[in-house]
Structure 1
Amino acid sequence: MPKPLDPAAAPATRRMRQHAALVLREAGIGVALVLLVAVFASLSPIFFTSNNITNIFTQIAINVILAVGMTFVILVGGIDLSVGSVMAFCAVVAGTVLKAEGLAESTAIPLALAASVAVGAVCGLANGAISAYWGIPSFIVTLGMLNVARGAALQWTQARTIYEFPDAFNNFGSATVLGVPAIFLVALALVLLGWFVLNRTVFGRLVYAIGNNEEAVRLAGHNTRLIKIAAFVIAGVAVGIGAVVYMTRLTIASPILGIGFELNAIAAVIIGGTSLSGGRGSIIGTLLGACIIGVLANGLILIGMSDFLRQMVTGAVIILAVILDVYRARLTRRAA
């Protein structure tokens, strides 16, 4: 006669299955990345040169930073289409602080970073609060913020570009540490911080829980609105950091920068295995997804593919990732 199952062991068993599925999903994304690298390395002799590897790390750094914040939003079942525009607004505010008269470099640089992060956090707070308290889909709210932030950036500068920043600020964008771009190390630091929050804190567990079953979390006594708002604020903070990092690379602050960046961030999150319906995914998967996008873009350029065809290929990869996500969700439901 089979031994009856212990009901208390069911949640632990379920968590073990979910963790195993997550590891397998990330392993699959990693294998896809390795295969992509192998293909381009065989097609282009300069793909594996140190200069090109450094270029790839530099190019994906901003997308990784934005995608880390986007992961939190998508995990709670939301979406943020305002990322690129908010980034431009953060940049011009930070640029204004850097150009303020009477401020020493040692003071202006941290103040600019603080101002950029504050602007991003306020925009994220507005997105999250309106969506959570009025029950408006985040797609609509952030679409409105996209226009508000872009218009604010243009109004702030009268559509002018801000430039001539301190040398110490500009030099960071081209600095390397043991051959690795400093801005990529910033992105990696945010990935590690995001991983810790999602996997080692109560808040992180609640983020996943809301994406899976928001009503159950609410009935358990948690304020789901505040948690969802916090996810949007985290995304805004990531945008503020990304804006300053991008400024160090371009050495300018333009009110038109960041156009389309939200799509790249969303693509990295989806390709990395995070479900659009929320509740499933990881920061490590997001990092791998951003790497796939960066390697794909770089490799297609090296083999001489035109801009138009590159856009078509990238779009096809995103669609394929969404289709795979649908199939993964079906398999997960059957396994449960």
Structure 2
Amino acid sequence: MKATLVPQKNAHNYYGMGTYLGLAGALLAMIVLFSSLSDHFFSYDTLSTLANQIPDLMVLSVGMTFVLIIGGIDLSVGSVLALAASAVSVAILGWGWSVMPAALLGMGCAALAGTITGSITVAWKIPSFIVSLGVLEMARGAAYQMTGSRTAYIGDAFAWLSNPVAFGISPSFIIALLIIVIAQAVLTRTVFGRYLIGIGTNEEAVRLAGINPKPYKILVFSMMGLLAGVAALFQISRLEAADPNAGSGLELQVIAAVVIGGTSLMGGRGSVISTFFGVLIISVLAAGLAQIGATEPTKRIITGAVIVIAVVLDTYRSQRAQRRN
């Protein structure tokens, strides 16, 4: 009875084949456009390099999709990524730990940061926007403290994650794809996913159905932190270092990718597969603009315009859905 009160069906219908085809069409149009403007864009080397650069954005966007679905937002993900990377560097360089325990420590620190954000948000009913803004500053400060405000060079301990293994694709990209598939299945095929949709749609109705939304909301923020820790490992593998400035501004890219994918900023609606398309769109846009020689101000203007258009379209779709209901 409890699960049937959660409107997962509407969310599933909203993300039908038409939505995926629309996003795929937009992505294809961008690829065709940039291929016509640059002789080097549409090549296997360019596309494989792009794929190997986005695993951290992919996994962060998965977590942000879940956070937005429950009606929250997490601005701290970039700083939490830096915190996790800094913890790994301290464990390896300072304490002499091996790779696996250091990786677990980094992911644990990131998950703890997410748990703190979720717990404070739920316990005191403070908007997660404000709480995560505070955690953003604390996590960044802790990263600076751990590394002495300097880049810590770890070496090739995690290089296997970014070294291409087949067809120029790295293990980190494959792992990120698996996370996307699992997350989509959790969201659409499990009671847990239906509860999250319900919490974002009407939290009071979920509570009246006898379901306590608090632990679910905290768990989602914890998961967001954990995925930030995974993203930190991906970034360390590429840079062979832990940079306390890593992830600065990354939260804006993450939110942009999720919103472009169609996840509602108001909660209650989202799709991990659509978010993946959003990640590809924003990444192809950035790479294409760079290849055609667009200046930094121009890239920011165009990217910002795409985000605004995505938000306007989301609002329009929401209003149409409300009128139909």
**TM-score, L = length of structure 1:** 0.91
Q: 1:86 and 1:21 mapped to 2: Cα distance?
A: 32
Pick the aligned partner of 1:284 from 270, 273, 277: 273
2:283 equivalent in structure 1 = 294
Structure 1 runs (4+) deviating above 3 angstroms are: 14-18, 100-103
Q: 1:194 and 1:17 mapped to 2: Cα distance?
A: 18
Alignment of 1:83-94 (within 5 A): 83-94=77-88
**Whose radius of gyration is greater, 1 or 2?**
1
Deviates more, 1:137-146 or 1:181-190: 181-190
Pick the aligned partner of 1:188 from 177, 189, 196: 177
Q: CA deviation at 1:111?
A: 1.0
Q: CA deviation at 1:154?
A: 0.7
Deviates more, 1:54-63 or 1:282-291: 54-63
Q: Does 1:149 align with 2:139?
A: yes
Q: Does 1:19 align with 2:8?
A: no
Q: CA deviation at 1:258?
A: 0.7
Q: Does 1:59 align with 2:53?
A: yes
Q: CA deviation at 1:100?
A: 4.6
Q: CA deviation at 1:102?
A: 5.0
Contact 1:91–1:243 under 8 Å retained in 2: yes
Q: CA deviation at 1:261?
A: 0.6
Q: 1:278 and 1:257 mapped to 2: Cα distance?
A: 29
Q: Does 1:126 align with 2:116?
A: yes
Alignment-mate amino acid for residue 314 of structure 2: D
Contact 1:26–1:272 under 8 Å retained in 2: no
Count of residue pairs the alignment pairs up: 320
Q: CA deviation at 1:95?
A: 1.4
SS at match of 2:222: helix
2:221 equivalent in structure 1 = 232
Q: 1:82 and 1:177 mapped to 2: Cα distance?
A: 34
Q: Does 1:270 align with 2:251?
A: no
| Structural RMSD (CA) | 1.6
Contact 2:69–2:200 under 8 Å retained in 1: yes
Q: Which runs of 5+ in 1 are unaligned?
A: 1-10
Contact 2:8–2:197 under 8 Å retained in 1: no
Which digits, 9 at most, give the CA deviation of each residue in 1:263-287, with x for residues without a partner?
1110111000000001111000110
1:7 equivalent in structure 2 = none
Q: Does 1:169 align with 2:158?
A: yes
Q: 2:252 and 2:266 mapped to 1: Cα distance?
A: 17
Q: Which runs of 5+ in 2 are unaligned?
A: none
1:43 equivalent in structure 2 = 37
Pick the aligned partner of 2:312 from 323, 330, 333: 323
Q: 1:259 and 1:233 mapped to 2: Cα distance?
A: 20
Q: CA deviation at 1:34?
A: 1.2
Q: CA deviation at 1:170?
A: 2.3
Pick the aligned partner of 1:260 from 228, 249, 263: 249
1:29 equivalent in structure 2 = 23
Contact 2:63–2:227 under 8 Å retained in 1: yes
Q: CA deviation at 1:164?
A: 3.5
Q: 2:8 and 2:126 mapped to 1: Cα distance?
A: 32
Residues 17 and 89 of structure 1: CA distance in aligned 2, closer, same or farther (over 3 Å): closer
Q: CA deviation at 1:15?
A: 6.1
Alignment-mate amino acid for residue 47 of structure 2: I
Pick the aligned partner of 2:149 from 139, 151, 159: 159
Residues 158 and 76 of structure 1: CA distance in aligned 2, closer, same or farther (over 3 Å): same
Alignment-mate amino acid for residue 188 of structure 1: L
Contact 2:162–2:171 under 8 Å retained in 1: yes
Contact 1:79–1:138 under 8 Å retained in 2: yes
Q: CA deviation at 1:241?
A: 0.3
**TM-score, L = length of structure 2:** 0.94
Q: CA deviation at 1:109?
A: 1.4
Residues 102 and 21 of structure 1: CA distance in aligned 2, closer, same or farther (over 3 Å): closer
